[in-house]
Amino acid sequence: MPRLVGYLARRVLQAVPILLGIAIFNCLLLHLAPGDAADVLAGEAGGASEEYLAQMKAKFGLDQPLYVQLGRYLANVATLDLGFSFRHNMAVADLIGGRLPATLLLMVTAVAVAFALGIVLGVTAARHVRRPIDGLVSVIALLAYATPIFWIGLMMILLFSVHLGWLPSGGMMTVGTDLSAFDRLADIARHMVLPTVTLALFYLALYTRLMRASMLEIYGQDFVTTARAKGLDERRVAYRHVFRNAVLPMITMLGLQVGSLLGGSVLVETVFGWPGLGRLAFEAVFQRDHNLLLGILLVSSLLVVGINVLVDLAYAKLDPRIELR
Amino acid sequence: MSLSRFLLSFVFTALIGTPLAHAQEPARGGTLTMVVQPEPPSLVSAFNSAGPIGVVSTKILEGLLTYDYDMNPKPALAETWKVSPDGKTITFNLRKGVKWHDGKDFTSADVQFSAMKVWKELHPRGRSTFAKLTAVETPSPLVAVFKLSEPSPYMMVALSGYEGQMLPKHLYDGTDIAQNPYNNKPVGTGPFVFKEWEKGNFILLERNPNYWDKGKPYLDKIVMRIIPDAAARAAAFETGEVLLGGFSPVPLNDVKRLEATGKFDLETKGYEYLAPLFLLEFNLKNKYLQDKRVRQAIAHAVNRDLVVKTVWFGFGKPATGPVPSVLTQFYSANVPAYAFDVKKADQLLDDAGFKRGADGKRFKLVHDFLPYGSDYQRTAEYLKQALGKVGIDVEIRSQDTAAFLKRVYTDNDFDLTSNFFYALPDPTIGVQRIYWTKNIKKGVPFSNASGYSNPEMDQVIEAVQVEHDRRKRKELIAKMQSLAQEDLPVLDLFEVRFFTLANKKVQDHTNSAEGVYGSFSGVWLKK
């Protein structure tokens, strides 16, 4: 146990300079984009007087030199304050917090579905390698991976919403109706189906391919031959010996993707009007809402660092040969 | 007309007229789900004229007046009004018993506060629209007197719920108005009360049971959904999840298909107040574009009919000058015109001394287009083709809106832009800004970017601002249009026709020049 605590403490300490570097890098990078939040607001408003523009820039701190803006931002972050979005007239932390549930709900469900189904399909394909069922799985995975995600989304809307009328075409819930708690959950679930499936299809392809390849690699190793030689049946070989070893790369992949969870999926969120963080970040780029964008990037990088630690811990658990140092 | 025919027509009117009148009996109740795109940054129009804010805000907050299709003022929060003979005093008698949604009385103090502290100081156009307004006197809670240093006839069209919105003094006085938390949860006097705004998802409004116009509004709720993808918006219309949307809510190439279903009304009226105009700006610092003949050649080289018909699917009308034809009170057709004529364009360019080189090209221009969607990009592509035919090599440069605005209005680093302006109900508010020397302002979006400066034009513009006599003012505005077409610092390509798409269930959604900027108190749903 003390070993684990020491490990975690070291990882947290290491994370501080990484996060600081990310914050500074992002800040500098964003300032390369021409135009600022005040320009965008004035442009959308169809104009502004010189005085009002100057007033706005002063209020947003945009009239200050870059190092002052950067210093102010870092000082804020050091006190765990992500700053204020002048465009939304709201604290950045509140804006991110408001989008977090929708983002997590969609992304976690989609990744979980893709992960589980990917394992099933990958294992199936590997156990029937070079037989028709393997070919079928591979074709489906390739198609799902190669088709543009927004197109799949739109086609699903056309089929299931417009033509069949089974599912709502977008949004997260039916607004303006009073539903009981249970009906509300069912309503959200109905709205979730299409975006989840669209997003999961994309991830599913990755997991299936990876699982299949990784299973096949393990099948070729000596201990599998040994297991077969001592008379174990194929099913037992597949699940007890091969699967447990083959699932490690899947965990790596899962870790990578969970890290990008907060970023959401701009395309799926846009097509289905899902109120997630991806869209918020995407729009913040065009609105030059730097505080908001920096906030989202910082929270995302925090998550990546955190997930990496978790993945390492999971490795140690799954494979006793791996040690935490 | 003989007596019998007169009688016959009378009978016909009676026969046709009566059942229609019956069908128009409004029904109470129901939820109107509409789209608003893009998502508004806040919900108060009093100091931010962004389009999507206007769509939401005007249901909650109101102005002193409202307008019919010809921009004649009608009572809203002001019941009656009187302009003094010299045009310098306007007395508004306010409606009795109007309450803000939080229960406080609406009084002349609110009018004074909104005009002097909000519109005049913070509204992007307010500073010029209300420039001559020196004070608002409040002799009684129900009388507000506007005092002007000089007559400002255009001020009377700027008092709608969108352009001259009333804010509650008791919630805004003494605060930082632009950062006031009520900007995201407005308290107004309008037919609908703000209920909830889930960012990125929806805005919910509920019926105001204490609305001053008794019996109205007819709807129980309005849900404004934010659907960022245009094709997904079209799908939401088709499934009936969305019943109404303004500002051309679906892709232009989807319109025919949607219309064919017979489920929708396509309404292009209701945008007269904005009078949108698509134009090319020439940077007069450019050594080629400095020459008037080059600008006129470009005008001849562009087939405006084709732009409207093919690029914009017919949702426009070729423009003849800087004042759109929907502004019936001011539009003048009697201006220099430039018919589509490639030969003449070639001739003018030759005359200007810019002969074709061995490769057939005369010179090169860089074209920046306002990145508001694929229609704008396609227009730029057409222009490249059209100008290429007369030997002008055009390079299209694309960027996002922030970069475009900075390039054009701060850095002045462009040759040619395709851009989009609202002409607005009065040329003093919307049109003069493009041509006035005093409006060459670095860093100010949608100012005079071409750098055009003509003392004669300035004189006309300034005379239009203070001319109180309607007829004389109209003549001056006609002169302004002639001058603009003669000098061509910008080339007005076409009047944009936005459309409102509505499910046939939705009744009376468009009944004035304000269109989707109306209060929607009279909108109802057929059962």
Domain-located, residue A195: yes
> What domain count does chain A have?
2
pLDDT given for residue B473 in this prediction: 93
Among the residue ranges A166-180, A195-209, B56-70, the one predicted with the least confidence is: A166-180
Give the pLDDT score at B5.
Answer: 47
Mention every residue, 6+ apart, whose C-beta is less than 8 A from residue A173: A184, A187, A188, A191
Residue A184 CB burial class (10 angstroms; 0-12, 13-18, ≥19): middle
Chain A closest CA to B357's CA: distance in Å? Answer: 36
All residues at 6 or more sequence positions from B234 whose CB lies less than 8 Å from its CB, including other chains: B250, B251, B254, B258
Which chain A residue lies closest to B202 (C-alpha atoms)? A175
The minimum CA-CA distance between A264 and chain B, rounded to whole Å, is: 14
pLDDT tens digits for range A30-58? 888 888 888 888 888 877 778 888 888 88
Q: Using the beta-carbon criterion (under 8 Å), do A52 and B122 form an inter-chain contact?
A: yes
State the CATH number of the domain containing residue A306.
1.10.3720.10
Domain boundary among A92, A124, A141: A92
Partner-chain contact A50 B239, CB within 8 Å: no
Q: Do A176 and B221 touch (CB under 8 A)?
A: yes
pTM metric for this prediction = 0.87
Whether A323 is in a domain gets the answer: no
Dump the DSSP string for B465-485.
HH---HHHHHHHHHHHHHHHH
Q: Do A207 and A307 fall into the same domain? A: yes
Mark whether A80 and A141 lie in a shared domain.
no
Q: Are B112 and B78 in contact (CB under 8 A)?
A: no
Reduced to 3 states (helix: H, G, I; strand: E, B; else coil), residue B411 is coil
- Indicate whether A178 and A257 sit together in one domain: yes
The answer, for A279 touching chain B at a CB cutoff of 8 Å, is yes
Cα B386 from chain centroid (whole Å): 29
Helices (H) and strands (E) in chain B, counts: 17, 21
For chain A, the residue count is 325
Place of tokens 């016959």: B8
For B453-477, letters b (16+ CB in 10 Å) and e give ebeebbebbeebbbbeeeeebbebb
Residue A87: both structure tokens together = 């465009």
Closest partner residue to A162 among B226, B235, B404, by Cβ?
B235
Q: Is residue B34 helix, strand or coil?
A: strand
Same domain (yes/no): A262, A122: yes
CB pairs under 8 A between A and B: 176
Instruction: Tell me whether residues B50 and A51 touch, CB distance under 8 A.
Output: no
- Neighbour-count burial of B111, counting CB atoms closer than 10 A to its CB (0-12 exposed, 13-18 middle, 19+ buried): buried
Smallest CA–CA distance, residue A27 to chain B, in Å, is 17
Are A201 and A276 members of one domain? yes
Q: A279 with A264: CB under 8 angstroms?
A: yes
Q: What is the pLDDT of residue B114?
A: 96
* Burial classification of residue A65, based on how many CB atoms lie within 10 Å of its CB (0-12 exposed, 13-18 middle, 19 or more buried): exposed
Residues A187 and A204 in one domain: yes
Residues A38 and A137 in one domain: no
In this prediction, residue B45 carries a pLDDT of 93
In a domain, residue A325? The reply is: no
What's the pLDDT score for residue B315? Answer: 94
Domain boundary residue, one of A72, A92, A112: A92
Q: What are the chain B neighbours of A43 within 8 Å (beta carbons)?
A: 401-402, 405, 445-446
Q: Closest residue of B to A159, CA-based?
A: B235
- Evaluate whether residue A189 is within a structural domain: yes
Chain A residue closest in CA terms to B222: A176
The pLDDT of residue A1: 59
Contact predicate B480/B426, CB 8 Å: no
Say whether residue A289 is in contact with chain B using an 8 A CB cutoff: no
Q: What is the mean pLDDT of chain A?
A: 86
* pLDDT band at A316; cut points 50, 70, 90: confident
Inspect the interface and report whether the beta carbons of B239 and A168 lie closer than 8 Å: yes
The token pair that represents B379 in the structure block: 């227009």
Query: How far off is chain B from A190, nearest CA to CA, in Å?
Result: 14
pLDDT at residue A176 greater than cutoff 80? no
- A142 lies in which domain range? 99-318
Choose among A39, A90, A275: nearest Cβ to B405: A39
The residues, ordered by sequence, that sit 6+ positions from B120 with a Cβ below 8 Å of its Cβ are B126, B127, B130, B133
Structure tokens at B258: 């949607």
Question: Do B228 and A158 make contact, defined as CB atoms within 8 angstroms?
Answer: no
Question: Do A167 and A43 lie in a common domain?
Answer: no
Q: Does residue A278 belong to the interface with chain B, where contact is any CB pair within 8 Å?
A: no
Cβ neighbour number for residue A153 with a 10 Å cutoff: 27
In chain A, what residues touch B232 (CB-CB under 8 Å)?
A: 154, 157, 169-170, 270-273
The percent of chain A in helix, strand and coil, each rounded to the nearest 5, is 75, 0, 25
Q: Which of B50, B228, B407 has the CB atom closest to A45's CB atom?
A: B50
Per-position b or e across B302-326, b if 16+ CB within 10 A of its CB? bbbeebbeebbbebbbbbbbbbbbb
CA B82, CA B318: separation in Å to the nearest integer?
38
Those residues whose C-beta lies under 8 Å from the C-beta of residue A238, and which sit 6 or more positions away, are A123, A127, A215
The verdict on residue A324 lying in a domain is no
Q: Are residues A209 and A284 in the same domain?
A: yes
Phi and psi torsions of B276, nearest 5°: -70, 145
pLDDT score for A38: 86
Chain A (178-207) residues lying within 8 Å, Cβ to Cβ, of chain B: none
Tens digits of per-residue pLDDT, A53-100? Answer: 888 888 888 888 888 888 888 888 888 888 888 888 888 999 999 888
Q: Are A47 and B447 in contact (CB under 8 A)?
A: yes
Minimum-distance CB partner of B124 among A40, A48, A168: A48
Task: Give the best residue of B35, B185, B401, B413 to mutate against chain A (max A CB count within 10 A).
Answer: B401
Task: Say yes or no for a CB contact (<8 Å) between B444 and A46.
Answer: no
Q: Is A46 on the interface with B (CB under 8 A)?
A: yes
- For residue B50, the chain A residue with the least C-alpha distance is A45
- A235-272 residue pLDDT tens: 888 888 888 888 888 888 888 887 776 666 888 898 99
CA nearest neighbour of B160 among B274, B64, B60: B64
pLDDT band at A218 (very low <50, low <70, confident <90, very high): confident
Q: How far apart are CA A324 and CA A313, in angstroms?
A: 8
| pLDDT for residue B11 | 43
CA distance A21 to chain B (A): 27
Domain C-terminal end among A64, A92, A120: A92
pLDDT at A134 over 80: yes
Q: What is the largest distance, in Å, between two alpha-carbon atoms of chain B?
A: 78
CB-CB neighbors (< 8 A) of B226 in chain A? 273, 275
**Residue that has been written with the tokens 């006197």 in this structure:** B137
Q: What is the pLDDT of residues B219-273, one digit of tens each?
A: 999 999 999 999 999 999 999 999 999 999 999 989 999 999 999 999 999 998 8
A34 in reach of chain B (CB within 8 A): yes
pLDDT of residue A245: 84
- Determine, for residues B178 and A270 on separate chains, whether the beta-carbon distance falls below 8 Å: no
Q: In Å, how far is A1's CA from the nearest CA of chain B?
A: 44
> Chain B contact for A160, CB < 8 A?
no
Same domain for A78 and A105: no
Shortest distance between the Cα of B179 and any Cα of chain A, in A, equals 6
Is residue A176 located within the same domain as residue A312?
yes
Q: What is the pLDDT along chain B (527 residues), one digit of tens a residue?
A: 444 444 444 444 444 444 444 456 889 989 999 999 889 989 999 988 888 999 999 999 999 999 988 888 999 999 999 999 988 999 999 999 999 999 999 999 999 999 999 999 888 888 888 989 999 999 999 999 999 998 888 899 899 999 999 999 999 999 989 889 999 999 999 999 999 999 889 999 999 999 999 999 999 999 999 999 999 999 999 999 999 999 999 999 899 999 999 999 999 999 988 899 999 999 999 999 999 999 999 999 999 999 999 999 999 999 999 999 999 889 999 999 999 999 999 999 999 999 999 999 999 999 999 988 889 999 999 999 999 999 999 999 999 888 999 999 989 999 999 998 998 888 988 899 999 999 888 888 888 999 999 999 999 999 998 888 889 999 999 999 999 999 999 999 999 999 999 999 999 999 888 999 999 999 999 97
Say whether B312 sits in a helix, a strand or coil: coil
Q: A228 and A164 in one domain?
A: yes
Element (H, E) at B266: strand B264-267
In tens, the pLDDT along A144-166 reads: 888 888 888 899 998 999 889 89
Name which of A33, A161, A270 is nearest B235 (Cβ-Cβ).
Answer: A161
b/e sequence B177-198, b meaning 16+ C-beta within 10 Å: bbebebbbebbbbbbbbbeebb
Query: How far, in Å, CA of B444 to CA of B466, rounded?
Result: 24
Question: CB under 8 Å to B276, separation ≥6 — which residues?
Answer: B324, B420, B421, B422, B423, B495, B496, B498
Closest CA to B39 of A304, A136, A287: A287
CB-based burial label for B89 (10 Å; 0-12, 13-18, 19+)? middle
**B238, B405, B433 member nearest A43 (Cβ):** B405
Question: Do the Cβ atoms of B445 and A42 come within 8 Å?
Answer: yes
Neighbouring residues of A191: CB distance < 8 A, sequence distance ≥ 6: A167, A168, A170, A171, A172, A173, A174
The torsion region of residue B392 among left (phi > 0), alpha (psi -120 to 50) and beta comes to beta
Assign A202 a pLDDT band (cuts: 50, 70, 90). Answer: confident
